[in-house]
Structure 1
Amino acid sequence: MRLKAGIHNHTTFCDGRDTPAAMAAAAARQGLEVLGFSGHSLVPREGFGISPDRLPAYRAEIERLKKAWAGRLEILCGLEVDAEAPQAGQSGFDYLIGSAHAVRDGSGRWWTVDNTPELFARAVEDGFGGDALALVQAYYDQLCAYVLALRPTVVGHFDLICKFNAQNRFFDEQAADYRALASAALARLLDAGLVLEVNTGAISRGWRRAPYPADFLLRQILASGGRVTVTADAHAADGLTFYFDETLDLLRQTGFHSVLELTAGGWTERGL
């Protein structure tokens, strides 16, 4: 079984390397039948993402590609909405990915968690007084509050705070206290029936050896009857299907019997 859809992808409209047109051509070459574009919504603090005045051009280009590829490649126009992003301009998309790339400390300051290890270290020290688990708690609390209010089509990279945590640099991912925080947050999203992505992006960029979320969280999703979809979080055309086959093997080994794939008609369940 090969995946036919990839819906977490970024282009030159935000922080991607390639144009939507180049991504569409690459998707067809790589055997995809559905390609979703999920440009980042604007994060004003950093001037990052697609500004409201550029959203019409983004939508127009994706609509143009839908027509150009009709009958050969189904194209969806989505948005990856950030917890920091303003709510304006988020309606009318084919789908939304709800993500958190930053955490707010007790003073109200936002700290980006996926930029560099050095910035993450500053967040722990300056934002949370050196208490990495306090940052973890805040991150998961804020992610849950945000996505439960937004109700996105899919929840993005659930445990993104582990991106720079190789060798447990900041906190012990095997420790009971960390796992309790992550599991409690995940349970809230599963109880709400939200779909979670199994995201290979940090592997392609050399930060992780396994997808988000971690294996113990995948087992929790399975035990709870939760649903997952596989995504590449691609920022370049050559990464649209990165680690897809290996991720399907991982899901089979974990005990999953199916995954979801998004089309214009909604979610489709595909057996593994």
Structure 2
Amino acid sequence: MKSILSSAHVHTTFCDGKSTAQEMARTACEMGFVSLGFTSHAPQMFDPAHCIDPSRECDYINEIRRIKQEYKGRMAVYLGIERDMYSCSESTEYDYFIASMHYFKIPDGSYSGVDAPAEIMQKYINEYCDGNGLEMAKRYFTQFRDYVIESKPQIIGHFDLVRYNNAALHLYDEDSLDYKMMALDALRDLVDTNALLEVNTGGVARGYMTEPYPALFLLKEWKNWGGEVIINSDCHDAKLLDAGYVQAEEILLSLGYDHVVRLSRNPEKEMWERVEL
């Protein structure tokens, strides 16, 4: 088993991260990373605490480009963005983008967070899903699938983020056939996009999950369908840059994966490269 030494999904103080971009790059280089991709949450107009302020998007772009030059020859640095389906930012300025779904839009025009505190999620389910957690999950997978197909990202971010509150609230049975089929049906439709499915260790690093996203049954079928995966830390704190990676690699090996994809150490030659497990 080889160390991945890369993450294509990290957050800084430009959005809701705890570390500056410079701190993140310095730590990654000290850890021996060969590549690092910055992906602050793209601007949107309704939850400013968790995204880049629209007035600072140019500052973010310029800072990552500066860091890219500073570390040239030591570590490949990429300018990315995590673009939620309700973001107002374009992806054309970036080397790549991660598609994710963090919100449900509700009839009054406001938004409710998929990974919001438990009481907010329960309120959304009670008021807009007739108290049915499985109906909420169905809406999530349907909307997220449609967004990925339409937007054509390079990476599918934390595909089953809808599990975020399930351990505490028991919103639905993750082992039920109904749940597994709706998740699998949505994921199967994404194979032809050729996007990388992210194995996201952020929930493990922050202590609210025992295994990475997505669930093992989804990773197993993704492999059977010929999909590629990338291990990312979704890091908000530089000291956790590779937290959960060993577990993620062990899980993939147990499912029959023999390699993952990472950001290339040689961006002049290629953007993505395989790493054997």
Smaller-chain TM-score bracket: over 0.9
Q: Deviations over 1:21-72 (max 9, x none)?
A: 0001110122211011000012212224113321110011111111111111
SS, match of residue 78 in structure 1: strand
- Measured after TM superposition, the shift of residue 168 of structure 1 is 6.8
Q: What secondary structure, in the 3-state scheme, does the structure 1 residue paired with 2:54 have?
A: coil
Moved over 6 A (4+): none
Query: Quick one: which amino acid aligns to residue 268 of structure 1?
Result: E
1:155-182: per-residue Cα shift (whole Å, max 9, x none)? 0000000011117711100000111110
Q: Is contact 1:30-1:241 (8 Å) kept? A: no
Residue number in structure 2 paired with 1:267: 272
Q: Percent identity?
A: 33
Aligned to 1:54: 56
RMSD over aligned Cα atoms: 1.4
Once residues 136 and 105 of structure 1 are traced to their aligned partners in structure 2, the CA distance between those partners, rounded to angstroms, is 15
Partner of 2:177: 176
Preserved CA contact (<8 Å) 2:42 2:52: yes
Shift of 1:106: 6.0
Structure 1 residues without counterparts, runs of 5 or longer = none
What corresponds to 2:42 in structure 1? Answer: 41
Aligned to 1:110: 111
> After superposition, where does 1:178-257 map in structure 2 within 5 Å?
178-257=179-258
State the match for 1:63 in structure 2: 65
Counting matched residue pairs gives 271
Displacement of 1:261 after TM fit? 0.7
Q: How does 1:19-30 map to 2 (within 5 A)?
A: 19-30=20-31
What is the CA–CA distance in structure 2 between the aligned matches of 1:19 and 1:206, rounded to whole Å?
22
2-structure distance, mates of 1:174, 1:101: 23
Q: Is the 8 A contact 2:132 2:171 kept in 1?
A: no
Q: Secondary structure at the match of 1:7?
A: strand
1:105–1:128 contact (8 Å) kept in structure 2: no
Corresponding residue SS for 1:13: coil
Alignment counterpart, residue 80 of structure 1, candidates 79, 82, 87: 82
